[in-house]
Structure formats: C-alpha cells, structure tokens
Amino acid sequence: MTDTLSRRTFIGAGAAALAGSVLPGQAGALESPAIVLRGAARPTAISSANSLAPVSRALELVLQGSDTLDAAVEGVKIQELDPKDNSVGYGGLPNEDGVVQLDASCVHGPTRRAGAVGSLEGIKTPSEVAKLVLKYTNHIMLVGEGAKKFALSYGFQDEDLLTPESRQLWLTWRANRGGSDDWLDVPDKTPMVVRPTGTINLNVVNAAGDLSSVTTTSGLAWKINGRVGDSPIVGAGQYTDNDVGSAGSTGRGESNIMVCGGFLTVEHMRRGMSPTDACLETLRRVMAMTPPRLLREDGRPAFSLQFYALNKKGEYGAASFFRARYAVHDGSGASFKDCAVLYPPK
C-alpha cells in the first residue's frame, strides 16, 4: 500500500464503493463521494474580475507563509478600500434610502469555522469584521446594529461610506425612478439600463492544500433597506471544505440563495467534477429554480450570475450565464480569463 493511499483511505474507499453499488432491481442508491487524495497543491488565488490586485496580494501573502484566510481578506480589502470600486466597501452603491449597507462572509478551511456580517453600516471593510466573528465568537453571523457595535468594540471607525460619485449615482436613480412621480428627470451621461450589482469573491489554496474563501459586497444598488443577498450567507455566497475545495459567486444573490450555490459547487467537485464543470452544473440548477418572471422572452435569464471554484490541488475554473471574466494567479502571474458560459452568444 502506497504512502499516498493510506489504509484508512483505502477502507473508506471500499465502504464508499459498497454504499454506492446497486443490486439488480434496486433503486434509489446514493452516489458515493469521490476519494480525496492528500498531497501537495499548487498555490492559487481565484477571484471575480474587479481587479487583478486582490489575487496578486493574496498569493503573495500565501507564498510568504500567511494563513489562507488572512491572505484572502487582505486581498479583498484592496477593493473594499478603493472608492472607485462601487461594488464593495467604501464607495459602494447605497440602498434606496441612500445608506450604504455592507455584507461579507468567510470560511477558514483548516479549522472548519466561518464568520459573517449583514447590513453593516459605517465600516469600510466588512470582510475583516466577518473574520473577527469567526475568530473570537461562537457565532457565525452578526447583523445590523449588533454587527456595527461589535466592529466598533474592536477599534473600527464609524465613517461615511458614501463617496461623491456613488451619492450622485443614487441621486440620479432617485430622480429618474418613475415617470409619474414628483421628481424631475435628470439627464445622465451614462444611463443605467441594467440595475447595478457588485461583489468580490476570492478563494485561496496554499501548498499544503489548505483553503479559505471570502465574499464581500455592498449588495444590490438601491435595494430595500435591510435587504441581504447571498454574500454573507455561508454555503451560498461562498463555501469551503478543506478536503475538497472552495467556491463563491457574484451576481443576483436571491437566485444563488435558492440553490446554496457555494456549497453545491463544492459538492459537485467532491463527486469528481472539475471546477469549471462544477460551476456550470450549479448554473443549470439555478435555471431549474428560476421562475418565469425572471426569464427573457427567449427563455434565458434576465439577470447575471457567476461562480468561481478552486479545488484542493490548485485547479480552478469559473462559469457564467453570459460572457464574463475572472481573475486568477497560480504562480505564473495574475491574469484575467474568460468564464465558461452556459449560454453562448447567438
């Protein structure tokens, strides 16, 4: 028996094969999980296409010996602190009342722990607060005023997160939201035909095969006060199983919540799918759960959704309904790559 395939793994594999066997005439047997072989991994960071900076920073820290969760959070913080990125953190687009409410969650693979915050106001880096929930509490999620009080107790500063640019976008939306209201239409050089959404998901693996994931967002622009999407929900916005891999998403959160997309994508990888195929299969499940009111006349979704996945070996992939990109750094340099698409251009 080789060092790679231990006696314990061999016995477990035999049990799994027996459990997955089907006798003649027998129905309903469950598919057995894939055998997970441990070994060295290729350090890799994969993220949504907000910027190349997060994956570059995350991989740099991992190669220096940092913990994967610390590296992932430091990566997404670059975008959270960038006032020009209005999808997350400082400068994120506000709710319908003009208030920026932020969400984030994270999972640390080696310790099997998670942390999250929802509807957090006044704190630029919700990913850091989510990590503190993971590290210092026996809870997973804190929301609203409680989350803010918790953050302030750790020395975070209460700040105005609405930048002049995001404020102007909100004012324009408010003035133009209805043709029969009492607000005057305001010309806009770049009218927003599609309602803005924005998020960053980042997944990291080190040479030992330890994984972590984090997702952070300002959520759907002009959302109802208190609305929370998939980003702070462990198993939806992101998920990590240190024996298998990590996955997360960006796009319409409500549709992802309905399929627990982060968890489901990891489970697809557990059953032997490649990261790309796992993402595509989760998108198919989303479509099966999508009501007609969210479909276009041609039957395709009237919203966007992307999934990003990374397995324990350092293999990665991403998929989207339509054309989209993602960012990755696997040691050979940071670059943007095209997502696999469920619906190719007609």
Catalytic residue status for 199: yes
Number of Cβ within 10 Å of residue 92's Cβ equals 29
Q: Give the C-alpha separation, 162 to 238, whole Å.
A: 26
* SS3 readout for 223-289: CCCCCCCCCCCECCCEEEECCCEEEEEEECHHHHHCCCHHHHHHHHHHCCCCHHHHHHHHHHHHHHC
The closest of 173, 210, 211, 171 to 191, measured between CA atoms, is 173
Nearest Cα neighbor of 107 from 263, 228, 329 is 263
Q: Which strands, in side-by-side order, build the sheet including 141-143?
A: 141-143, 113-120, 102-108, 211-217, 199-205, 44-48, 325-329, 334-338
Token pair recorded at residue 153: 């107790």
- Rounded Cα distance, 344 and 229, in Å: 27
Of 68, 199, 216, 240, which is the active-site residue?
A: 199
Residue pointed to by tokens 């919540």 = 257
User: Which residues are annotated as catalytic?
Assistant: 199
